[in-house]
Amino acid sequence: MTGGTESAQALADALPDGVVLADGDGVVTLVSTTAARMLGGDVAGLTGRPLGEVLALQDQDGQEWAATNTPYDGLATRTAVPEQSWLLPNGTEVLVSARLHRPSLHEPVSLVAVTIRSGRGRARLDRERSDLVATVAHELRSPLTGVKGFVQALLTRWDKLSDDQKKLMLTTVHADSDRLSRLIAELLDVARIDTGRLQLHPRPSDAAVLVQRIADSVQAGTSRRIELDVAPGLPQVNVDPDKFTQVVTNLVENAVRHGEGRVRVRLAPLPDAGDGPSVELTVDDEGEGIPVELRRRVFTKFWRGGVRGGSGLGLYLVNGLVRAHGGTVTIDDAPGGGARVVLTWPAGSML
């Protein structure tokens, strides 16, 4: 091998994806070690053979990569073969793409550069999507089952039910409907955060009033004690009230669902550290807490702690909404041994 060829081989071998190069005659001139391993051969044995033979790849219908994509044919303006899913001889999925090089538009293809990468990343993404569908289906089915059951009972036994029974059923239906609305709002906001399309409508708001409403609402549905402590001199926060309510409701409900004992919520002003005044909101529970090694993971999508369910999107959404406001989110140990989530919210004007 010449020095230039050895250098090209070393460079190809250093890449994380497999690389196959073929000349204008369709003869393979270079195969990286990664590509050779994927294709079930060795570098020396694959080099010098026709591209169609080296790329022993098939789709689900048994079609071959080279015959399907015909890299040396087509319009002169064609410069690439987009990434596609193909199967190796052992049945493993790989993702294959190619670049087609011509000296000019009036000359034939002189070089085909093919990259092959593992399909595990795509498989993981597919699993995450399947997990999301399954999780959302479960989360939607639970309140829908309650709504359907109570509505059916009201329709069929209206005359036999007392006013108190009817009120209880309708109250439950209303609560389940609110739960469905919140879940749908969460899913929409997650999609907006992921695509950078989240819109906020901040305005000066009284955090104490908003948090008190949230505490009262969650308290009505649980036997756990929720305490609210508001420090004096609390400035107004400059937030989107709906998103603020969504974040705090998520945290308080998480503390009720996954913690033990009482839930304590505290609001306190923070001194101006150069970025303008802010308000600190702390939510403590008395449960098992969150281990230090897991605290970076809790804000990732689909993370779920404990055994009490949830969509796995709540803390991901909390982190995204707070940071969109210019605030921060941290996790620590609560004095009572549980988890402490600390949020900062801007009290000054948002940029």
Residue 306 has pLDDT above 60, yes or no: no
Q: Does residue 210 lie in a domain region?
A: yes
Claim to verify: residue 110 and residue 129 sit in the same structural domain: no
Three-state secondary-structure class, residue 255: helix
Q: Which domain holds residue 179?
A: 123-195
Residue 350 has pLDDT above 50, yes or no: no
Residue 119 has pLDDT above 80, yes or no: no
Residue 340 has pLDDT above 60, yes or no: yes
Query: What digits encode the pLDDT tens for the residues 145-176?
Result: 888 888 999 999 999 999 999 998 898 888 88
Residue 34 has pLDDT above 90, yes or no: yes
Least confident of 77-91, 207-221, 271-285: 271-285
Residue 297 has pLDDT above 90, yes or no: no
Q: How much is the average pLDDT of 256-263?
A: 83
Claim to verify: residue 92 and residue 34 sit in the same structural domain: yes
**Residue where a domain terminates, one of 69, 92, 118:** 118
The CATH number for 334's domain is 3.30.565.10
Claim to verify: residue 236 and residue 151 sit in the same structural domain: no
Least confident of 156-160, 165-169, 187-191, 337-341: 187-191
Claim to verify: residue 130 and residue 113 sit in the same structural domain: no
Claim to verify: residue 235 and residue 298 sit in the same structural domain: yes
Confidence (pLDDT) at 118: 84
Q: What percent of the chain has pLDDT over 90?
A: 45
CA–CA gap between residue 296 and residue 315 (Å, rounded)? 11
> Which helix or strand (DSSP H or E) is residue 268 part of?
strand 263-270
Claim to verify: residue 234 and residue 271 sit in the same structural domain: yes
Residue 289's pLDDT band (boundaries 50, 70, 90)? Answer: confident
Q: How much is the average pLDDT of 82-104?
A: 90
Claim to verify: residue 19 and residue 71 sit in the same structural domain: yes
Residue 229 has pLDDT above 70, yes or no: yes
Residue whose pair of structure tokens reads 């669902």 in the numeric block:
257
Q: Does residue 166 lie in a domain region?
A: yes
CA–CA gap between residue 50 and residue 200 (Å, rounded)? 57
Take residue 87 and report the two structure tokens written for it: 């199967």
CA–CA gap between residue 38 and residue 29 (Å, rounded)? 17
**Residue where a domain terminates, one of 80, 95, 118:** 118
Contact predicate 332/342, CB 8 Å: yes
For residue 303, which of 163, 131, 151, 67 has the smallest C-alpha distance? Answer: 131
Least confident of 3-7, 125-129, 264-268: 125-129
Give the side-chain half-sphere CA count within 13 A for 255.
33
**Residue where a domain terminates, one of 118, 135, 168:** 118
Helices 163-195 and 241-258 cross at an angle (nearest 10°) of 110
The CATH number for 97's domain is 3.30.450.20
- 226-230 vs 263-270, strand pairing mode: parallel
Residue 310's pLDDT band (boundaries 50, 70, 90)? Answer: low
Average pLDDT of the chain? 85
Please count the structural domains in the chain: 3
Claim to verify: residue 165 and residue 85 sit in the same structural domain: no
Confidence (pLDDT) at 127: 66
Contact predicate 56/41, CB 8 Å: no
Claim to verify: residue 136 and residue 224 sit in the same structural domain: no
| 67, amino acid identity | A
Confidence (pLDDT) at 103: 93
Q: Does residue 351 lie in a domain region?
A: no
Confidence (pLDDT) at 328: 92
Residue 48's pLDDT band (boundaries 50, 70, 90)? Answer: very high
DSSP character string of 39-79: HTS-HHHHTTSBHHHH---B-TTS-BHHHHH-TTSS-TT--
More confident residue, 259 or 232: 232
Claim to verify: residue 170 and residue 253 sit in the same structural domain: no
Q: Does residue 293 lie in a domain region?
A: yes
Confidence (pLDDT) at 307: 46
> Which helix or strand (DSSP H or E) is residue 314 part of?
helix 314-324
Q: How much is the average pLDDT of 233-258?
A: 90
Q: Does residue 36 lie in a domain region?
A: yes
Take residue 176 and report the two structure tokens written for it: 């389940």
Confidence (pLDDT) at 71: 94
CA–CA gap between residue 93 and residue 337 (Å, rounded)? 47
Q: How much is the average pLDDT of 296-303?
A: 72
Residue 81 has pLDDT above 70, yes or no: yes
Claim to verify: residue 217 and residue 335 sit in the same structural domain: yes
Confidence (pLDDT) at 125: 62
Claim to verify: residue 108 and residue 25 sit in the same structural domain: yes
Residue 74 has pLDDT above 60, yes or no: yes
The CATH number for 163's domain is 1.10.287.130
Residue 121's pLDDT band (boundaries 50, 70, 90)? Answer: low
